[in-house]
A = this chain, B = another copy of it.
């Protein structure tokens, strides 16, 4: 083993990387535009056939009256929550402590919109109906992220979702879906996107997670919400003269991969089982994935797990992960998202990689 080889390099150069669709390079754009009519007119500040057609297509798919294309989910979701606050005359929204808005947006919701937040449930578990019953009358909107990415993509039973939605409706609390990975959970629930979205007043979906596009988001809801959202999109600086580079690529990758979500889901369950077969000190969260994603957690220091993954990669050509995160309790973890690459990994290589991983983990040095 080459000590100077980092895990990122090892993964980057591995013959069989098993997560993701492929490299995030310019080819992703090239492929999406290959068959595009070069004479097609650009959208102009949110108007024009390219953007309006895709918005209508996504509104229909999500079962909502209207949909608006945004450059990012950060922008779309802050705006949805702001509108729910303005329409209800309330100044608070509730979400999970590990929500994207709480972790990754530099407090845009608070800094730009002066919206107060209520953190619901604990960091290591999903929001349930009992949590929702604690919400006060001053809460305009509850945001649910399905699946809850930062805890491995966990998903509540569908009956719980329905219970939460019914309670919110009865109390005049709006319900917003952070559906960054909505497409990815449809096989698990066995529901259409429209059926799930019917439980929510507004919905955001993304085109560069499971679908593997470049960037871009859709916010869907009733016409009052989408009309207001366009004004806020302009205010945020997101109403670009031309969004077609994202619109066209989003539609291309939606069409290309929306039918593969069941395959990714099955593959994620297969792969998680292989991890769990290794036994202590390694496991997946959740134990059985609910989508194309899960987390791998280990009672090992970050550096120890990195060395192991580099060793497996160099011996078998299988790249299990490009990175490892150290945890506060001294353990380590990484996220796994299944895409097109998994199907290209030969079975024997995969078995070889996990045999080696298991063997190494069972050596004394790696015991928990």
A45 to chain B, nearest CB (A): 9
Contact of A23 among B37, B41, B244, B249 (CB under 8 A): B41
A211 to chain B, nearest CB (A): 13
Known: A30-B33, A71-B71, A215-B242. A108 touches B235 (CB 8 A): yes
A231 — which chain B residues lie within 8 A by C-beta? 106
Q: Taking CB as reference atom, which chain B residue is nearest A40?
A: B26
- Cα A234 to Cα B73 in complex, Å, equals 11
Q: What string of 1s and 0s marks CB contacts (under 8 Å) between A224-262 and chain B? A: 000000011011111111111110110000000000000
**Are A72's CB and B26's CB within 8 A?**
no
Q: Which residues of B contact A214 (CB under 8 A)?
A: 42, 242, 244-245
User: Contacts of A236 on B, CB cut-off 8 Å?
Assistant: 74-75, 108, 112, 236-238
Beta-carbon contact of B25 and A40 below 8 Å: yes
A200 at the interface (CB under 8 A from B): no
Q: Nearest-CB distance from A210 to chain B (Å)?
A: 14
Assembly stoichiometry (copies): 2
Chain B residues, Cβ within 8 Å of A76: 237
Residue numbers in B under 8 Å from A240 (CB-CB):
71-72, 215
Residues of A in contact, count (CB < 8 Å) = 53
Q: Looking across the interface, which residue of chain B has its beta carbon closest to that of A216?
A: B240
Are A106 and B237 also in contact (CB < 8 A) when A39-B26, A41-B24, A245-B29 are?
no
Among A39, A78, A237, the one with the most B-chain Cβ atoms within 10 Å of its Cβ is A237
In the assembled complex, which residues on chain B have CB atoms less than 8 Å from the CB atom of A245? 29, 214, 245-246, 249
The answer to whether A26 and B244 touch across the interface, beta carbons within 8 angstroms, is: yes
Q: Is A27 an interface residue (CB 8 A)?
A: yes
Residues of B within 8 A of A249 (CB): 245
Is the CB–CB distance between B234 and A106 below 8 Å?
Answer: yes
What would be 5 A-B contacts, judged by CB atoms less than 8 Å apart? A26-B244, A71-B237, A74-B239, A106-B231, A111-B235
Taking beta carbons and an 8 Å cutoff, which residues of A are in contact with B?
Answer: 23-30, 33, 36-42, 44, 70-76, 78, 104-108, 111-113, 208, 214-215, 231-232, 234-246, 248-249
